Structure formats: structure tokens, C-alpha cells
Chain A
Amino acid sequence: KNQVEQSPQSLIILEGKNCTLQCNYTVSPFSNLRWYKQDTGRGPVSLTIMTFSENTKSNGRYTATLDADTKQSSLHITASQLSDSASYICVVSGLTGGGNKLTFGTGTQLKVEL
């Protein structure tokens, strides 16, 4: 069964600090991996999308890495800001399943404090 597991479940950091969120998956065959940011009360918004051949991808202060061999990804947030407080969701897309090929993780709830 395709699964996506994220850790930690929740995280509190001080403003200005860095943090790294983890994602392990068992989706096969693999197509791409996405990281979404979901603010409270809003729909998820895409941060990065990486294919099999990409090891790292940045979007401003967000840097995602992918190791397709070990089926692991991480999202590194640099110099955190209060506005980074949100849930970060890892989503893996398989090659099969037609429209039903996205598997969602349960998310890491990040809180950035002063």
C-alpha cells in the first residue's frame, strides 16, 4: 500500500532559526514529490515539486531535497519567520492510478515563536 510518513508531527522553533522536516514514502512506481504549505483555515499551496532526477529544489527560504533511492525527502526552512507557521504536507505522486495517484502525508505542524 502506498504510504507517506512525515516527522516530526509538530515542531516549535524561535523566529530566525532553521528547521528541517522529514518525509519517507513507499509509493511505487514514483513520479514526483511535492511539498505543500497549508495555513490554518486555507487550502494547501504548492512550495516545490521534484521529479526522480532532481536532488534539490529551492523556493526562497524553502529548500527541498529528494533521495529516490532511500525514498526520503526533507524540507529545510532557513531563517524562519512568524508567517512560516503552518502545516507542511508531503505528497507523493505515483505513475499509475490515473487520477487517483496522489498520496498525502498527515503533515508537520510548525509553529514559529518570537
Chain B
Amino acid sequence: NAGVTQTPKFRILKIGQSMTLQCAQDMNHNYMYWYRQDPGMGLKLIYYSVGAGITDKGEVPNGYNVSRSTTEDFPLRLELAAPSQTSVYFCATLRGTSGVTEQYFGPGTRLTVT
């Protein structure tokens, strides 16, 4: 049981390049999230999904896109990378949909845009 996995661990992009951050989970959780964490700041929600085929914007969605074709995978796409997207990106899942729910995070992807 690998939990939540993210690839790559590190990446350096040039301004204007594109890339996809991968996130996979093997816990069969319906809810999945993408967050970014800037130094000294709290996690900010980029996009989330409540199940395969359903995605919705979070607090800071501009410059990103997501898709959720399967329960297991939730890739995050960066188009036309900008220095403001330099951050650490975390994928997470949520067990349960009501009451007390447990959230599980991946190890993160550290992205630098220069």
C-alpha cells in the first residue's frame, strides 16, 4: 500500500515551459486535492476533485489545469510556467465524505521556475 505518490520530486522549468505533476493513490479515496506551499505560508488549495470525472477550482487555480479520468490519478498541468509558480506542490486524498475524515498527503514536488 503506497498511499499517495507524487512524481517528480524536483523539477526546474524555464519560463514559458509546460509540465505535468503526477499524483497517484491506491487507497480508493474519492476526494483528491492539489495544494501549493510557499515559504512561510499555509497550504493554498489549487484544485480538487470529488470523484472521477469531477474537478473544481480552489483558492489559487490560475495557471493550472487538472483532470481526473480515474479514481487513482489526479495530474496537475502547468501551462506557460511563470516564476510565481515556484513552490512546493502537495497532492492529498481524503478518506470519507462526511463526519471526521482523514487526509493523506504525498511527499511533495519542489518546482523552481527560472
Hey, which bits of chain A sit against chain B, CB under 8 A? 4, 32, 34, 41-46, 49, 51, 89, 93, 98-100, 102, 104-107
Is there an interface contact between B42 and A107, defined as CB atoms closer than 8 Å?
yes
Q: Are B42 and A43 in contact (CB under 8 A)?
A: no
Q: Contact check: which of B4, B56, B99, B108 meets A98 at CB < 8 Å? A: B56
A-B CB pair tally, cutoff 8 Å: 50
A99-B56 contact, Cβ under 8 Å, with A32-B100, A45-B105, A46-B103: yes
In the bound complex, how far is the Cα of B99 from the Cα of A49, in angstroms? 11
Contact B102 A100 (CB under 8 A): no
Please name all residues of chain A whose beta carbon is closer than 8 Å to the beta carbon of B100 when the two chains form the complex: 32, 49, 51
Residue of B33, B42, B107 with most partner-chain A CB within 10 A:
B42
Q: Chain B contacts of A42 at CB under 8 A?
A: 107-108
- Chain B, range 36-73, C-beta contacts under 8 Å to A: 40-45, 48-50, 56, 58-59
The answer to whether B42 and A100 touch across the interface, beta carbons within 8 angstroms, is: no
